[in-house]
Structures are given as C-alpha cells and as structure tokens.
C-alpha cells in the first residue's frame, strides 16, 4: 500500500530543539592521591598500564531559575603491573568518585535569562566524551616523605590520579513542526 497524500502534503513533526548549550572542555573531574594496599594487588605497583572509567550516573538538576548543577558518579578501573620485570598484570577497581559543578545560565550559548529558562527549557541532556587520564606512581605509602603517609602506615603504592572529560550540557524544548511540500505527480 502506497502513501496517499493530498496536494500539497503536510508533514507534522515533533522535534526536540536545543535552546542553549554549554561545553566544558577537559573539565577536571578527579584529582586525588590514593594509596593502593599491597595486599589488594599482591605486591608493589611498578607501572600503571591503563585507566578506564565506569560511569555510574550523570545527572543534572535545575537550581532555581539561575543555574544548572551537573553531577557525575563513577568508578575507576586501573590495569597495573605489580612487581619487577616482567611483572604481573592486575586489575584494581576504585569505587565511589563523585563530581559536581554548578553552571550559571549566563555561561550557556546563547545566555539565558531566568525568564527564558523558565519558559523555554523543558529538559536537559548531558553528553560526556573525550575521557583522558593521568596516573603517576609517587612511591611507597609507608615512606614518611610520601603524600600517602599516615600515622598508621599501610604497605602499598601511592598513586596520583587525574581524570578529565568534555561535558556538553544541552537545554532543550519540544516543538511541533509542520512542513508543507509539493510532490512530483510522477512520484505519487
């Protein structure tokens, strides 16, 4: 059965339109120094081979009519080498990292007034891309000069971890769009 369209055709669409967006390039979402106990990996970590992120949630809340708060919860998965050459590969999961940032409406493109925000925004969408990581071994946790040293030292490896990501926040509203068109009679 073919599409029957009266002349001219009317196409009725429901589209989500981006009213404003904010892009935070390579936002630092983590900058911590962590001690990984030797008993968790079977010895001293000598190399960080790779770092991956496990995103638990990416949420956004509207703070009044003046700002948007972006909140991320994530875990890190480290692939590390334990011991001297050739070493043994181990996987370490570090859980419970959180990041949040408030973005004023005037930092969106185009900037929104509280009134425009109230009238023109129905929902938002967060896009996270270009994750990048920095991991550095700082030494032994039980070394008194280590930033991981505590009153009751733990045998392990002191590691500095930094995580960066592009955060794109789109504020949107649904619109009904009607398009009129003429079809070529040969196509009908």
Residue 188 scores a pLDDT above 70: no
Least confident of 15-29, 54-68, 78-92, 167-181: 167-181
Angle 127-130-136 (CA atoms, 0-180°, nearest 5)?
Answer: 130
Residue 183 pLDDT: 63
Q: Residue written as tokens 């649904």?
A: 174
Residue 124 pLDDT: 86
Q: For the purposes of burial, counting CB atoms within 10 Å of the CB of 121, is it exposed (0-12), middle (13-18) or buried (19 or more)?
A: buried
Confidence of residue 187 (pLDDT cuts 50, 70, 90): low
Residue 156 pLDDT: 96
Least confident of 3-17, 31-45, 47-61: 3-17
Residue 178 pLDDT: 78
Yes or no: say if 97 and 131 are a contact pair by the CB < 8 Å rule. Answer: no
Which of these, 150, 27, 156, 143, lies nearest to 94 by C-alpha position?
156
Which tokens sit at 14? 């429901």
Residue 12 pLDDT: 76
**Over residues 156-173, mean pLDDT:** 96
- Predicted structure pTM score: 0.82
φ, ψ of residue 55 in degrees (nearest 5) = -80, 125
Confidence of residue 55 (pLDDT cuts 50, 70, 90): very high
Report the SS3 class of residue 124: strand
Residue 26 scores a pLDDT above 90: yes
Question: How high is the mean pLDDT of the chain?
Answer: 89
**pLDDT tens digits, 98-155:** 999 999 999 999 999 888 888 888 888 899 999 999 999 999 999 999 999 998 889 9
Which tokens sit at 154? 């733990």
How much of the chain, in percent, has pLDDT values that exceed 70? Answer: 92
Yes or no: say if 97 and 75 are a contact pair by the CB < 8 Å rule. Answer: yes
Region of 87 please: left (phi>0), alpha (psi -120 to 50) or beta: left
Residue 4 scores a pLDDT above 60: no
């Amino acid at each position: 059965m073919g599409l029957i369209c009266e002349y001219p055709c009317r196409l009725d669409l429901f589209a989500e339109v981006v009213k404003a967006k904010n892009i935070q390039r390579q936002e630092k979402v983590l900058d911590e120094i962590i001690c990984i106990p030797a008993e968790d990996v079977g010895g001293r970590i000598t190399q960080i081979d790779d770092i991956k992120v496990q995103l638990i949630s990416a949420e956004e809340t509207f703070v009044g009519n003046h700002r948007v708060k972006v909140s991320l919860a994530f875990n890190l998965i480290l692939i590390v080498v334990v011991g001297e050459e050739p070493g043994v590969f181990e996987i370490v999961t570090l859980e419970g990292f959180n990041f949040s940032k408030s973005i004023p409406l005037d930092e969106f493109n185009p900037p929104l007034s509280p009134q425009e925000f109230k009238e023109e925004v129905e929902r938002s969408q967060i896009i996270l891309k270009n994750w990048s990581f920095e991991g550095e071994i700082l030494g032994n946790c039980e070394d008194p000069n280590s930033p991981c040293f505590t009153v009751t030292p733990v045998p392990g490896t002191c590691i500095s971890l930094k995580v960066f990501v592009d955060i794109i926040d789109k504020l949107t509203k649904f619109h009904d769009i009607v398009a009129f068109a003429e079809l070529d009679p040969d196509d009908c």
